[in-house]
A and B are shown apart, each in its own frame.
Chain A
Amino acid sequence: NAGVTQTPKFHILKTGQSMTLQCAQDMNHGYLSWYRQDPGMGLRRIHYSVAAGITDKGEVPDGYNVSRSNTEDFPLRLESAAPSQTSVYFCASSRGGGGPDTQYFGPGTRLTVL
């Protein structure tokens, strides 16, 4: 199993451009989340999905959109990038259903918005 994969690893965008960050998992997990990691802020959840077709907002959803058409994939879209969205983005998956479930993280995408 590859676990959680993310593409691209790095990307540079100009302000106003759009981009989709890809996330895929092959562990048959139901629960997927997107986080961003910023210096001094820890990891903050952007959006999450408990199952295909169901998505919801996390702590910092503004400027981001998500969709979940199947179990495996959970893309994160930036429609009009801003410099404040410069960050490292992590996708994470877990079995879901609540309780003490461990989340498995992808390797991250480092995004710079100029």
Chain B
Amino acid sequence: DQQVKQNSPSLSVQEGRISILNCDYTNSMFDYFLWYKKYPAEGPTFLISISSIKDKNEDGRFTVFLNKSAKHLSLHIVPSQPGDSAVYFCAASFYNTDKLIFGTGTRLQVFP
């Protein structure tokens, strides 16, 4: 049973435009949500996170939105740059644990 889902395996966006990556979850007990970015032949690197008590968190070009009633979160990248081309993983965790549950990833390609 996939508790964290990323239904779009890939996304292609033009440079300068907005990239929107989506993630759905099934367990309302998740306390924290994270986005990781992964380049080929490298390990995932932490990008941005959001607590379940918030509905938005911004860090530069990256903003994560959380809609608890819909059990949905999204990552917005504005403006998109070619260097943003990577696989993005959504992950969720429970309160007071270090366990991360990952989605299947979305491959973002930003073209000139």
Contact = CB atoms under 8 A, between A and B. Distances in A.
Interface residues of A, number: 29
Interface stretch (B13-21, B40-48, B60-68, B76-84): B40-48
Contacts, number: 63
Interface in B59-112: 89, 93, 95-100, 102-105
Nearest to B47: A102
Nearest to B6: A42
Contacts of B103: 42
A53 to B, nearest CB: 17
B104 A103 contact: no
Interface in B5-35: 6, 9, 31-32, 34
Interface of A: 4, 31, 33, 35, 40-45, 48, 50, 58, 90, 92, 94, 96-108
